[in-house]
Each structure stands twice: as structure tokens, then as C-alpha cells.
Amino acid sequence: MPTAFVTGCATGFGHALCRRLLAEGWHVVATDPEIAGLESALAPDPAARERLLVLRMDLADPPGIRAAIYEALEWSPVDLLVNNGGYAVFGTQEEADLIAIERMFRVNVLGAMHLTRGLLPTLRARSGTVVQLSSVAGRMAFPESGFYAATKYAIEALSEALFEETCTFGVRVRLIEPGSFDTRFLERAREASEPRHADSPYAHLHAIWNEAKLGVLEPPQDPTLVVNAILASLRDERPFFRTGVGPDAERILGLRDALSPDAWVDLMARRNGVRPGSTDSGQLLAPAEVLGLGLDASSERFAPTLAAYGYGHLDHWTDTEDGQQALDLLASHARGEAPATGPAVAPDVVALARELSDPTRLAAAARAAAEAVARATGKPVPGLEPDAAEDED
């Protein structure tokens, strides 16, 4: 059976993944800075324990990484690398502890790269696979998550380049992008981050930021979903792909891909307390603009806002009467119905739109219009004279 090298195995995704790999017959090198009791926790069955090598390794320590690589390769060649280890430090760019931020970058980015570099010769020789635990934060950022998101954006970019560099050797790369899951992630982030302060210049925004995050993230989900996604990625024949895991990741990344980068940032700014009208990507519409467009769902200006509604990112519009009416209008469009509100949805307008969709009725309407204009002005309309229209029939 093949051998996997997995980081961050004491808890969370790494712990659950190692147990599943062992259950499926893999040989596993499990690493973590804290390994007391880890062998028996991962492999209660003595037979499985023979296929498990537990190593103490801190991703912030390059010499320790090299020592772990040497010991692992002495034990078995490696076919699969899972860069799972990492953590978050949260804080605004004005207030976060930059020493803590530097250490997070050493673990999340440089540590993963030291390990990947050390294992690449054997992965190239064996046409192995690299699985990178990224995040929805590798594609977007919340307030106070900019530094953490930057580490995940880096992993995304490095993974693309890694595949481009090694694809001719048969190396496969997978990017796993989870949403919110029930691990020690938030607990450890609180331990590593500076607490918020009541005298912060951002204090009046904290509640808004919290609400915006809760509005798009799911309550912590079962980590088994991520383990299943990793194992499914190993069976997938595609040489490179990224996948969001969890309904929240699918909503966030689906809309992120549907909008331009500037439109996405505009939406996030609106959700996180920006004054209406103070930022405008030129794509997302305000409620009044949606009501103004009314029936014209085919307008190119309408599409990004309809996408934002479809992915559940306009719930904050319920705070105003115009916003609620605009949501009702968007709901009608999403169901493929003629909207029930707005200035452009009177019954005669809807009837006229249906009339004009029929070529025969369109010709009759043109003749009627020409006759009405001729009566009012005493002059025929060029190209729409009543007699000419009848001759065309």
C-alpha cells in the first residue's frame, strides 16, 4: 500500500484523515508538535500501528522539518503529502501583533514549502500527489482575517505554480477549501490573537463584522465532510483541481466566481458597514436601482446582483422597505415569474411584452401604431405606412 505524510495530526482534519487512511490500509507518517499519546489515539489496533510512524515536527522549525523528512523516507517512500498543519491569527491590519503574524506565515506558508521541497524528489519519482488544505479564506477575506487569508492566498498561488512545474513528472495537486468546521481552529485562533479592545477605533464595527460573518458561514460542520473530500480527490483522475467543502464554501466561492473581483469587494464592504453609495464597483445594484430596472432582468447590470441574491448574500437588504421590495423582485426573477412589484411591472406592460414576442401580433401593432401617428400628424411614418404594412402581409 502507498504511504502518506500528513501534518497537523493531533486534532481536527489531520487526526480524522490519518485514522481513515490507516483503516483503508495506507502506511501513514503522522506529524505534529504535540505527539503525546498520538500513536494509540490514531491506531488503537496494534496491527494498524505497524503501518504508522508518529514524528514530532514543528512547521516553524526548518531543521526539524528536514530531520522528519529523513526519518520518514528511511521508513518508507512517500506517495502522498497532505499539508494540513496551520492556524489563524486574527486582527485588523492596524492592531494585530506582527510578531505573531510573522510566526503564522512561517508555519502556514514557509513551513509547508520547506516540507514540500524536501519531499518533491520522491514525489516526482513516484508521480505522487500533494493535497493542500487551503480555505475559503484562500479566495476571499473578512475584516480581521486579512493576514490569515494572505497565507491561504499564498498556498493557492504556490499550488498552481507547483503543478505547472511538476505536472510533466505526473505529480497531481489538489486544493481543498473548507468553510466553517467543528475543529479547534477557532479556539486556537483566539489563543494566538490579540483580544479586541473597547477603545479600538474599530469597536463600533465589531458587531457588524460578526453579523456579516455569521450571515455567510455555517455553524461548525462535521470534519468528516473534509476528510471525505480529500479521499475523493485521491480517486479523481484530474491532475489538478480545487474544491470548496461545505454549503457555506459553495455559496461563498460560487458567488465569488460569478462576480468580478471589484464587485465582490464592493459587496463585502456593503455587508461590513460601508455607507450606501460610498463604494460602487459598477456591477452590484442598490435596492432602488433593482426596483428601477423592474422587468428588465436581461440587463447586463442586473446579472451580478441576481447572482448575489441567488447565493444568499443580500439578506442585509431586509433592514429597509426598499431593500425588502427589491428582494421580492429578485425572488420573482429567480422563479422565472413576472415580478409583482416595481415601476415597470404594470399588467399592461407585461401584456405588451407578451404581444411583442409574437411576430404576427408585432406586425399588427406596427400597423396600428402607424395609423395612430398618421391620424395625429397628418403624415405617414416612413417605412411603417399602413398600406405598406398590409402589402408585406
pLDDT of residue 65: 98
| Alpha-helical segments (H) within 43-195 | 46-49, 62-75, 98-105, 112-125, 146-166, 185-192
Distance of CA 10 to the CA centre of its chain: 26
C-alpha distances in angstroms, 183 versus 48, 107, 200, 223? 25, 18, 29, 7
244 beta partners: 177
pLDDT of residue 307: 73
**Cα–Cα distance between 204 and 23 in angstroms, integer?**
50
pLDDT of residue 355: 44
pLDDT of residue 268: 83
Catalytic residue status for 148: yes
pLDDT of residue 214: 79
**Cα–Cα distance between 70 and 31 in angstroms, integer?**
13
pLDDT of residue 282: 53
Active-site residue among 148, 153, 309, 311? Answer: 148
Instruction: Report the Cα–Cα distance between both ends of the chain, in Å, rounded.
Output: 78
Contact status, residue 262 vs residue 279, Cβ threshold 8 Å = no
pLDDT of residue 381: 47
pLDDT of residue 370: 53
**Cα–Cα distance between 340 and 192 in angstroms, integer?**
51
130 beta partners: 81, 173
- Of 79, 224, 83, the C-alpha closest to 155 is 83
Residue given cell 454549503 in the structure block: 247
**Statement: the pTM of the whole predicted model exceeds 0.85:** no
Residues with Cβ within 8 Å of 164's Cβ and at least 6 positions away in sequence, in order, are none
Contact status, residue 59 vs residue 85, Cβ threshold 8 Å = yes
C-alpha distances in angstroms, 9 versus 16, 286, 294? 8, 46, 54
Q: What is the CA radius of gyration of the chain?
A: 29
- Classify each residue of 196-228 as buried b or exposed e, where b means 16 or more C-beta atoms within 10 Å of its C-beta: eeeeeebeebeebbeebbeebbeeebebebbbe
**Cα–Cα distance between 288 and 322 in angstroms, integer?**
6
**pLDDT 10s per residue in the chain (393 long)?**
899 999 999 999 999 999 999 999 999 999 999 999 999 999 999 999 999 999 999 999 999 999 999 999 999 999 999 999 999 999 999 999 999 999 999 999 999 999 999 999 999 999 999 999 999 999 999 999 999 999 999 999 999 999 999 999 999 999 999 998 888 888 888 889 999 999 999 999 899 888 888 777 777 888 999 999 999 999 999 999 999 999 888 888 888 888 878 888 888 887 777 655 544 455 677 787 777 776 555 556 667 777 777 766 776 677 788 878 888 877 877 766 654 444 433 334 334 334 444 445 445 545 555 555 455 555 554 544 444 434 433
Domains of the chain, earliest start first? 3-258 (3.40.50.720), 261-334 (no CATH), 358-392 (no CATH)
- Classify each residue of 126-165 as buried b or exposed e, where b means 16 or more C-beta atoms within 10 Å of its C-beta: bebbbbbbbbbbbbbbbbbbbbbbbbbbbbbebbeebbee
pLDDT of residue 266: 81
pLDDT of residue 378: 59
pLDDT of residue 353: 39
